[in-house]
Amino acid sequence: MNWIWKTVIIAVVVILLGIGIYKLWVQNRELELDIEDLNASLTDIKEENRELEHRINYFKNPENLLKEVKSQFNYREQGEEMIIVVPSENGE
């Protein structure tokens, strides 16, 4: 009778260890998926950062900044005139 209890206890321990290992495996897989998502986000953020740095360097030049202000806000300096070119209706 003593060996039956030992076998039952060993079986319960093995089952509990198996359940624990399975839960750790599931958690590990979820963390791996999170890492993949974070790496994708990091790549996107790095690309956005490069674009922003490029724009910052572009706008550091006062001529480029003035050109953008003029184009986006129809800004004119004193004495400067604006010419609007309208295409003809027949496409020429």
pLDDT in tens, the chain (92 residues): 788 999 999 999 999 999 999 999 999 999 999 999 999 999 999 999 999 999 999 999 989 888 888 888 777 777 777 777 888 887 56
Q: CA-based diameter of the chain, in Å? A: 108
Q: What pTM did the predictor assign?
A: 0.56
Cα–Cα distance, 10 to 14 (Å, whole number): 6
Query: Distances from the Cα of 30 to the Cαs of 21, 27, 36, in angstroms?
Result: 14, 5, 10
Count Cβ atoms within 10 A of the Cβ of residue 15 and give its class: 0-12 exposed, 13-18 middle, 19 or more buried: exposed
Whose CA is closest to 73, among 63, 65, 85, 61? 65
Residue 19: predicted pLDDT: 97
